[in-house]
Chain A
Amino acid sequence: MLALRLQGCGPDQGPSDGRADVVLSYLLQRVLSLLFVLLLATVGIFAMMHSVPGGPFAFSQGDLTKVAMHNIMAKYGLTEPVWRQYLNWIWQLMHGYLGIPFEEPTMTVNHLIATAWPITLIIGGLTIAVSYSLGLLLGVVAAIRHNTWVDSLITAVVSTAGIALPNYVIGFLLIEVFAVKLGWLPVGGWGSPADVVLPVIAFSLYPLALMERYTRASTLEVTYADYVRMGRARGLSGRRILFNYVLRTSLIPLITIMGPNIPNILTGSIFIEATFGLPGLGSYFTNASLHRDYPLIMALVLIVAALWGACYIISDLAYAIVDPRVRLEGLSR
């Protein structure tokens, strides 16, 4: 219903759809449907979370008497029926309050996320900037020089470092060389600008490889397209052919790769955080579920789901902007 449609050929298509009101109402429709998806996702996760055996305090306070345990449960509202607990959670959410994390009862979930997520966002944002720009560049160079030693070298290095080796292995290697042996950069931790360098490098390798491979493949494909040959037959310069004919079309499919990749990066990685001792969001994903930290789990689910939804909306919009053959559908009626 709200899908993008690739237009067929034919002169009978409606007028162009770049108008602002069309885009706005499209956006509104997509956001509403995202809210519905979020509702479903939270109901699902809430139900699953409560149906798993074991409770939040089963390990840490296991020796307590039944009465004491009941008091703790009652304090966090866990003695009420599950549907009631969900409604309570929604009620809190509407007021912008995410609850108290069971593991750190002196804080709120809001506070926890507000401290941890910015770190993850800085690392993630830099990672996206570095890996995408470098990946694109290397991919285009490899495609232009395809089947030469330049291409082989780029492909070999990128695949080995980015895809074959896990990023924490590279992370330890980077620490060993640049922090321990050379002493140029800190071993880990968070505080000074120098702290971002090694984690960003280690974290960038996989998305860089991803972008390089896809850019190379799609650029190579377009290089042999009929319209590129015709552009050359009209005497256009090599530069113009590369930018206006090859790259302008070959880079469009990369939006599809970025769509799900960006939310992945922006929610952090437990491996990178553990390797470099970063107090980011990534480690909470594992810890929260291990400790049945219900409020924290719910908050993280919400963040991930909203981020994915937003990224998909943005990538669909981006398609409609950069490719004239694609137009937004679902509101023409």
Chain B
Amino acid sequence: MTDDLAGARVGPEGTGAGAAPLLEVRGLRVAFPLERRTVYAVQGLTFEVHAGERLGIVGESGSGKSVSAQSIMRMVPFPGKVTGGQVLFEGRDLLGIPDAAIRSVRGSKIGMVPQNPLSSLNPVITIEAHFREVLSRHLGLSRSEARVRAVELLGSVGIPDPAQRLHEYAHRLSGGQRQRVIIALAIACRPRVLIADEPTTALDVTIQAQILQLFDELVAGANLGAVLITHNLGIVAAHCDRVVVMYAGRVMETAPVVELFRSPSHPYTVGLLRCVPRVAMHKARVFATIPGLPPQVTELRDGCPFAPRCDRVSEQCRRETPALADIAPGHALACWNPVTDAAARAEAASV
């Protein structure tokens, strides 16, 4: 087994300095036992989110981002299981509390915004019914109280004519409007933490910008802690305060967003940054890529998971797993041969 957890916490020096974090994930492990093999989707993930802070989790598809988000609320899809670690929220480990207790955290203390707004609302009940059930479940509001609050919430997420919209069914709303409704539902009970799992992948670009702006306003307005999962580094640059770069279920690098873009140190981070297409691409009409695919981890063994695709790989990388260690205040890295070359960094950082 690897031991990359020791002292590997993402420092609180980031943005919400000082106070205890709102949400703290420590050494989270998630595995999917399948018929013939087990997929180790998350291996010792550690991060924290402070009030008013937007934490971005980036990585390629299959790096364990979504599963990590789902496991915070104990919603890992079957047959996945959380096999280790802690999720500390308001002094409790969410992974250890009874089912009834986690249900009253979901949607009330922690809100979730999904990837696909088009299919995430119940098609046979009205928008009002969605609000009614969540407001009565968590806050005990009556029918008429819930209606008033729902109108207020829909207005606050920028839905025009909210009282009218309450009577509609989801299929009458556009994708952007549905995502706004879902966000309004997620913040209906004034949660402390908002988890958004690629909230704009299914929307077109102008709507994306609007939704992310709304997200920023909500976080700042209610001093929420937010986790934004994405594979889009442009979104990270504009809408996050701190970044966790994930690969194969592990943290590769984490830093405040400015720091990460200024001096990316993990070859994987540098590779990701290089892949961002630029308008003024001068050299060739070819997109930069990282060769190969992220692995599906089916056996636990030592060594850096990125080694097979890394251009700075050494013998040590294949033998020993690098531990996540601070290289600067708030900037932690898990790499044996970090990028220090100013030129490479500059090229990558020109995003």
Contact = CB atoms under 8 A, between A and B. Distances in A.
Q: Is B one of A's binding partners? A: yes
Q: Which of B103, B118, B171, B173 has the largest count of A CB atoms less than 10 A from its CB? A: B171
A225 interface: yes
B120 A244 contact: no
Contacts of A224: 77
B105 interface: yes
Interface in A230-287: 230-237, 240, 244-245, 248-249, 252
Given A11-B172, A226-B116, A230-B114, A236 B134 contact: yes
B177 interface: yes
Interface string A6-42: 0111110100000000000000000000000000000
B134 A234 contact: yes
Interface in B283-299: none
Contacts of B177: 11
B129 to A, nearest CB: 8
Contacts of A236: 103, 107, 133-134, 137
A7 B122 contact: no
A224 B78 CA distance: 10
B2 interface: no
B112 interface: yes
Nearest to B104: A235
B125 A244 contact: yes
A234 B112 CA distance: 8
Interface range on chain B (Cβ under 8 Å from partner): 35 or more
B121 A230 contact: yes
B119 interface: yes
A323 interface: yes
A8 B169 CA distance: 12
Given A13-B172, A244-B125, A235 B120 contact: no
B122 A324 contact: no
Nearest to A16: B167
Interface string A172-207: 000000000000000000000000000000000000
Contacts of A323: 123-124
B174 interface: yes
A91 interface: no
Nearest to B119: A226
A229 interface: yes
3 nearest A-B residue pairs (beta carbon):
A234-B107, A235-B106, A235-B107
Given A11-B168, A11-B177, A235-B105, 14 more contacts: A10-B172, A10-B174, A13-B172, A224-B77, A226-B119, A226-B120, A233-B73, A233-B106, A233-B107, A234-B133, A235-B104, A235-B108, A235-B138, A236-B137
Interface of A: 7-11, 13, 224-227, 229-237, 240, 244-245, 248-249, 252, 322-325
7 contacts: A9-B174, A227-B119, A227-B123, A231-B122, A235-B107, A236-B103, A236-B137
